[in-house]
Structure 1
């Protein structure tokens, strides 16, 4: 008669073996939204830095100003976000010293993609959106995945509330899923107000979004920063 008793676990000197896991990533959350217009780009992030139900900071922007024509938003593992942007800042400074001019937004987009791809076997746990003005003075939004695949899009949302926000952008900005959409291009003021409304709404549904919103408007004249308070709970 066969026995169905479980096999004893391996032991060392009578004590059971313990398996230790290694997890180098932590999701510190964050939400990013970017909208490009004819001659401007607007990007926004929330200000809450958290881990689960713990809040580490209520005033931590996820936007990094690279040049006066380009801003990178990063969310996810905060250590990886800071590391990526520090290395990118070094590359931009080196380029400026060698060429006596700042790197263009299109070149920054490719540079960021190359840096992410170089870490594809141990990728940065970071969702990135690059917003800026291109060589023709038009607004540009570049969307990335963690291993460097990227594309230029008219709008994008990433981070924890990205799946909630993107359908809203598809309808209002992309003019999709509407019977008689207004084809007029979006204005800068409209884009700013939309991003404000998006974060106010996201804060009601997502515990990782709150405290405040940091918005940067990019035009040929430079950067303009806007802050908006959100709910604190």
Structure 2
């Protein structure tokens, strides 16, 4: 199943159960038919949008500004034209995820105690757990 098809299926599932028990805010990521990364963000009742990156939950208000600062180009008017999102290597992306969650954890009491990072690439699946709270 393609990622855009899965995005529609998740939207339908959330809308069908919009009051109970699936009142959740989701993020879906994968590859589209061109082999490019795609991220879909959802509201609680299933409306969705394809975006370049996203965050959900109580820490999202703290995480998104950091991601904007690190990933967006400073201006769409810069010449020569640049992609609107800075490409990152796998290591840089993982480090950025760790940094934004560590930062959000320090300021948001509802952000959890751990972050689970799952990397899926051609060599397989790798899972990494990072402790957030030390107190």
Q: TM-score range by the shorter chain?
A: 0.7 to 0.9
5 Å-filtered alignment, 1:82-93, equals: none
The answer to whether the Cα contact below 8 Å between 1:105 and 1:132 also exists between their aligned partners in 2 is: yes
Cα-to-partner distance string for 1:19-61 (whole Å, 9 max, x where unaligned):
xxxxxxxxxxxxxxxxxxxxxxxxxxxxxxxxxxxxxxxxxxx
Residues 1:144 and 1:210: Cα distance change in structure 2 (over 3 Å): closer
In the alignment, which residue of structure 1 is the partner of 2:111? 209
Cα-to-partner distance string for 1:92-128 (whole Å, 9 max, x where unaligned):
xxxxxxxxxxx22221111000111113355732110
Between Structure 1 and Structure 2, the one with more strand by share is 1
CA distance in 2, matches of 1:152, 1:128: 12
> What are the ranges of 5 or more consecutive residues in structure 1 without an aligned counterpart?
1-102
Match for residue 159 of structure 1 among 57, 69, 87: 57
Q: Secondary structure at the match of 1:141?
A: strand
Question: TM-score, with normalisation over the residues of structure 2?
Answer: 0.81
5 Å-filtered alignment, 1:1-233, equals: 103-120=1-18, 122=20, 124-176=22-74, 184-233=86-135
Cα-to-partner distance string for 1:71-97 (whole Å, 9 max, x where unaligned):
xxxxxxxxxxxxxxxxxxxxxxxxxxx
Between Structure 1 and Structure 2, the one with more helix by share is 2
The answer to whether the Cα contact below 8 Å between 1:137 and 1:220 also exists between their aligned partners in 2 is: no
The answer to whether the Cα contact below 8 Å between 2:26 and 2:56 also exists between their aligned partners in 1 is: yes
- Asked which structure has the greater RCO (Cα within 8 Å, sep 6+), the reply is 1
Question: TM-score, with normalisation over the residues of structure 1?
Answer: 0.49
Residues 1:150 and 1:213: Cα distance change in structure 2 (over 3 Å): same
Larger radius of gyration: 1
Q: CA RMSD in A?
A: 2.3
The answer to whether the Cα contact below 8 Å between 1:141 and 1:155 also exists between their aligned partners in 2 is: yes
Residues 1:201 and 1:157: Cα distance change in structure 2 (over 3 Å): same
The answer to whether the Cα contact below 8 Å between 2:40 and 2:50 also exists between their aligned partners in 1 is: yes
